[in-house]
Structure formats: structure tokens, C-alpha cells
């Protein structure tokens, strides 16, 4: 179980200042990660060590990450947004 301080730090680290990233990362952090395991929390935190440009390229599927951990997090974020989109459309 993560502390409130760890959550606050992760939320702050997720705010990248790039609209495209903020729109993808903030809902994921606020809606999905609270139910995720500590391992997923830590993996996401590591994922945030990537540069903004790398994150945009990965999340828009313009580039495939080399690191399998990053691939896992990218796939989780994309799956989360696809699920939300399906729920809201149909």
C-alpha cells in the first residue's frame, strides 16, 4: 500500500505540461492506478522516467519502446483509454 505522499509525488510527476500527455496520464493515474498493485505503481513510476517526447511517441504508437516494462505500461494506458472510450460510446 502506497502512502499519500507517494501518491501525491506520482500525480505531480505525471503532470508533464504537455496537453497530449496530461490528457492520457492524469485520468489513468486518478482512475486506474488506485486499484493497481504496488508493482504496477512502481512500474508506472519507472515509466515516467522517459522523456516527454518518448512518452508521446509510445502512447501515440509512433515508436515501440525497447524496455519490456515500458511496453507493459504503455499497453496498460492504451487499454485503459480504449475501455473508457468504448464505455462512453456504446
Tell me the per-residue pLDDT of 8-63, one tens digit each, with 9 for 90 and over.
899 999 999 899 999 999 999 999 999 999 999 999 999 999 999 999 999 999 99
What are the structural domains, with CATH classification, of the chain? 4-89 (1.10.150.250)
Q: Which tens digit of pLDDT belongs to each residue from 60-85? A: 999 999 999 999 999 999 999 999 98
d(CA 43, CA 52): 17
pTM, two decimals, is: 0.92
Burial of 24 per CB tally in 10 Å (0-12, 13-18, 19+): buried
Amino acid at each position: 500500500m502506497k502512502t499519500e505522499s507517494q501518491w501525491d509525488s506520482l500525480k505531480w510527476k505525471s503532470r508533464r505540461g504537455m496537453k497530449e500527455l496530461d490528457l492520457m496520464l492524469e485520468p489513468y493515474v486518478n482512475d486506474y492506478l488506485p486499484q493497481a498493485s504496488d508493482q504496477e505503481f512502481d512500474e508506472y513510476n519507472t515509466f515516467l522516467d522517459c522523456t516527454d517526447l518518448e512518452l508521446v511517441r509510445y502512447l501515440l504508437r509512433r515508436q515501440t519502446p525497447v524496455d519490456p516494462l515500458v511496453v507493459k505500461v504503455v499497453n496498460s494506458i492504451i487499454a485503459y483509454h480504449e475501455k473508457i472510450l468504448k464505455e462512453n460510446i456504446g
